Chain A
Amino acid sequence: MVHDDYKEMIPARALSALDAAEERALNEHLENCSECRKELEDWQATAAALALAPDPAEPSPQVRERILSEVRKDRTSSPEVIPFRSPSRNVWSSFGSLGAIAAVVLITALIVGVIVLWRQNREAQERLARANEFVELVNTPGARVRELRGIEFAQGATAKLAYDRSGHALLMASKLPPVPQGKAYQLWFIVGNKPPVPGKTFVPDSTGSAVLKDEMPGEAVDANVFAITVEPAGGVNAPTGPIYLRSFEVN
């Protein structure tokens, strides 16, 4: 595709009406084309005019209250301050045991270092094992791979879901935003207009990566849409939280 082809797609992109493959291609082009980025901003302004078409409506006053109350909670809950513990004994008496303390610190540092290295090695091996499993699954006859992309809160996040006809599924996600305490990501399988079928929950590691092995229920194998929401840590039977990642229609 050439520059003009992409340019033609921009009005539809401003209406977020491009099909998944076209949107992906255009997004890649936009990364390197400031002229098209500017044009997209202009078309978005035009599309935004459509927001004025519906009749204005007044929400109930409780909405305002709820927003402001959440905001206040948000302000008071951060930052968390952990108080220092007051010294329990006379500072002077510590001098005698400084050598012992230094030795303990050194040994502790060594032990921590060894544990960190061992963990990193184990994590790397686990990641490799998962990647192998993913490749194996993809090579299974009839296997499918769907791509999920982050929206809104999770712009930039991506995930690939591979699954076969028997329902073995493996999700590999990256660049996920951290989830709040007590929450987890949950995978959903959506078949047509039926209620979403819940998948497992998962929490990304400190780098925002996650791997999830799941067994899809029979009816979920025909899912045409896959989504990831943020839910209470134990998972729920019907989605309650916002969608962070979703697949787009394959045509």
Chain B
Amino acid sequence: MQPERAQEDDVKLLKAIAARDEAALAQLYDRYRVILFGLLMRILNNREEAEDVLQEVFLQVWRKAEDFDENRGRPFTWLVTLGRSRGIDRLRTLAARDRVAEAGAREAAEEISDAATDAFKSEQRGLVNKALAQLPDEQQRPLMLAYFDGLTQSEIATRLGAPLGTVKTRMRTGLMNLRELLAGKGESFGF
């Protein structure tokens, strides 16, 4: 999800973190905090919980950086998969405990600093949102419910009142279409 050079830098940072380089962790945090925090806010809709999970994610990066294998994927994918997964875990815990009040409007995000904006690939965000907007609603919704709400296909079928087979097909087609829409948008997407 990013130009090759930035990716190489990320690989170097993860290697340095695996060698217990604290400054490298700080650098990786500065590079990804707004993306990951935005993602966690979208999943959890609660600032305090999202910050707590963000902290957990980076502590896990500190402990698990040596597990990252550059032959098996990009640092961005590894980091985001980790962050999203921790976010969904927390969402389920909260849902089970007493779901975070959904009625309230989403908490306003604080203004983002210039440095963070610089690191954040706003152009790529625009491309992803444009691609999502191009997907038919029936394909987009299963993707969003799975990715941000952590629902399984059966749960999505129940939520949408659609047959399971239909949900499976729409989800697969949706992700395939997303990939096609993002392909050829410059080297940045890398698939």
Minimum C-beta distance from A59 to chain B (A): 4
A53/B51 in contact, CB under 8 A: no
| Residues 78-115 (chain B) with a chain A CB within 8 angstroms | 80-86, 88-89, 92-93, 95-99, 109-113
Q: Closest B-chain residue to A224, C-beta based?
A: B96
CA A191 to CA B17, docked complex, whole Å: 40
CA A12 to CA B152, docked complex, whole Å: 9
Given A49-B128, A53-B129, A242-B86, A71 contacting B22 (CB threshold 8 A): yes
| Residues 14-45 (chain B) with a chain A CB within 8 angstroms | 20, 22, 25-26, 29-30, 33-39, 41-42
Q: Closest A-chain residue to B25, C-beta based?
A: A71
A16/B85 in contact, CB under 8 A: yes
B153/A19 in contact, CB under 8 A: yes
A48: which of B38, B55, B80, B148 is its contact (CB, 8 Å)? B80
B168: which of A12, A190, A227, A248 is its contact (CB, 8 Å)? A12
A193/B147 in contact, CB under 8 A: no
CB of B68 within 8 Å of the partner chain: no
CA A225 to CA B121, docked complex, whole Å: 38
CB of A17 within 8 Å of the partner chain: yes
A15/B129 in contact, CB under 8 A: no
Q: Closest A-chain residue to B180, C-beta based?
A: A46
Minimum C-beta distance from B120 to chain A (A): 5
| Residues 198-251 (chain A) with a chain B CB within 8 angstroms | 225, 227, 229, 238-239, 242-243, 246, 248-249, 251
Residues in A with CB closer than 8 Å to B22 are: 68, 71-72, 75
Q: Closest A-chain residue to B76, C-beta based?
A: A48
Interface of B is mostly: helix
Residues in A with CB closer than 8 Å to B76 are: 48
Given A11-B176, A12-B171, A17-B153, A67 contacting B37 (CB threshold 8 A): no
CB of B11 within 8 Å of the partner chain: no
CB of B137 within 8 Å of the partner chain: no
CB of A4 within 8 Å of the partner chain: no
Residues in B with CB closer than 8 Å to A89 are: none
Given A11-B172, A54-B42, A56-B125, A48 contacting B81 (CB threshold 8 A): yes
**Given known contacts A52-B128, A58-B112, A195-B97, what 16 new A-B pairs fall within 8 Å (CB)?**
A12-B171, A12-B172, A16-B150, A41-B73, A47-B147, A50-B178, A56-B109, A63-B33, A63-B54, A64-B29, A67-B55, A71-B25, A74-B62, A193-B96, A196-B93, A248-B152
- Residue positions of A touching B, CB distance < 8 A: 8, 11-12, 14-20, 41-60, 62-64, 66-68, 70-72, 74-75, 151-153, 188, 190, 193-196, 225, 227, 229, 238-239, 242-243, 246, 248-249, 251
List 15 interface pairs A-B (beta carbons < 8 Å), by A numbering: A11-B175, A16-B88, A19-B152, A20-B152, A47-B147, A48-B84, A51-B80, A55-B38, A60-B110, A67-B25, A67-B62, A74-B62, A152-B82, A196-B96, A249-B152
